[in-house]
Amino acid sequence: MTIEVRVRRKREVAEGICAFELERADGGALPAFGAGSHIDVHVPGGPVRQYSLSNIHGADPASRGHYRIAVLREPASRGGSAGMHEKVNEGDLLTIGGPRNHFPLHDAPRSLLLAGGIGVTPILCMAQRLAAWGADFEMHYCTRSAARTAFRDEIASSPFADNVHFHHDDGDDAQKLRAAELLAHPEPGTQVYVCGPGGFIDHVMGVAKAQGWPANQLHTEYFTAAAQDTSGDQPFQVKLTSSGQTYAVPKDRSVVETLRAHGVEVMTACEQGVCGTCLTRVLEGTPDHRDVYLTDEEKAAGDQFLPCCSRAKTPLLVLDL
């Protein structure tokens, strides 16, 4: 499903970060979504990128009229963030996909929200929703500086301002996040949500696991995948069940790129192993997972993988394609 939307407002909400409010071009209602959801945005110039929704969608008609996303201007942009910042303006029309949610809120006695940088977008939506429910939660928001803290004024003036703790890299030591102290004692039932740069997520999750937090209480969403060491990559083959055809995947090409070169299209979006759009069942063989989408348990099962980035540990993968 795709939807044509109009940019009703564009504004800078922090240094290097623009927020976009999107309304349906035909004036109709936008599909409902839950906290943690994201949409695909067809950026002018070609790329499709995923952006988390930072506003809530509730019973109030005013909350159903638009989606809000925020985009960090990446210095090494591959076209997504640069296109949004430089080519998209108020009044422009965009094509988006309907909301999807791989980072949902769970019913819990208490929630702990941790955001790093632009990772605040789904976390803010969660905080708004939890506050509306009257739920018990605490939010920690880490940024380089106050100037780079998106939605700071909005959060400070919100009904849940007392639940939020700001942490800045350039601030004094007293206000910096101490993950080991925050997560020192696993709390039965408390759900932990972490979103931000890969290094931030890995640090928080590493601390939580070391302290004994159960995996089913820890939830993450990555925006980009970490760089992989590809120096040891080897060629392998993939066989498609639909046609019986076998294709050789070179060491310097992905499965998606290889299939595309032979006229076989696989639906993709991020092509970084983040969004899960290309998720494919594996019927035979052992995948070499390179994504940040599947859980450790799902990777261990070995019955699915993301062909945009993952490879094979065996000479052949048989795919349900």
Residue 241: give the domain boundaries.
236-319
Same domain, 216 and 256: no
**What CATH number does the domain containing 21 carry?**
2.40.30.10
Domain stop point among 32, 63, 97: 97
DSSP secondary structure, 119-153, as one string: GHHHHHHHHHHHHHHT--EEEEEEES-GGG-TTHH
The answer to whether position 106 is within a domain reads no
- The per-residue pLDDT of the chain, averaged, comes to 93
pTM of the model: 0.85
In tens, the pLDDT along 137-162 reads 999 999 999 999 999 999 999 999 99
Domain stop point among 197, 222, 247: 222
Same domain, 45 and 77: yes
In tens, the pLDDT along 58-90 reads 655 555 689 999 999 987 666 688 899 999 999
The answer to whether position 262 is within a domain reads yes
Same domain, 6 and 85: yes
Domain stop point among 29, 64, 97: 97
In tens, the pLDDT along 50-60 reads 999 999 876 55
Same domain, 23 and 88: yes
In tens, the pLDDT along 210-240 reads 999 999 999 999 987 767 788 889 999 999 9
Quick check: 3 pLDDT over 70? yes
**What CATH number does the domain containing 129 carry?**
3.40.50.80
Q: Please give the structure tokens belonging to residue 58.
A: 């509730």
In tens, the pLDDT along 268-278 reads 888 888 888 89
The answer to whether position 102 is within a domain reads no
> How many whole angstroms from its chain centre is CA 40?
11
Minimum mean pLDDT range among 45-54, 71-80, 93-102? 71-80
Same domain, 26 and 65: yes
Distances from the Cα of 144 to the Cα of 121, 126, 147, 279, angstroms: 16, 22, 8, 34
**What CATH number does the domain containing 278 carry?**
3.10.20.30
Q: How many domains does the chain have?
A: 3
The answer to whether position 104 is within a domain reads no
Same domain, 193 and 289: no
Residue with tokens 């039965």: 188
Distance CA 155, CA 186 (A): 27
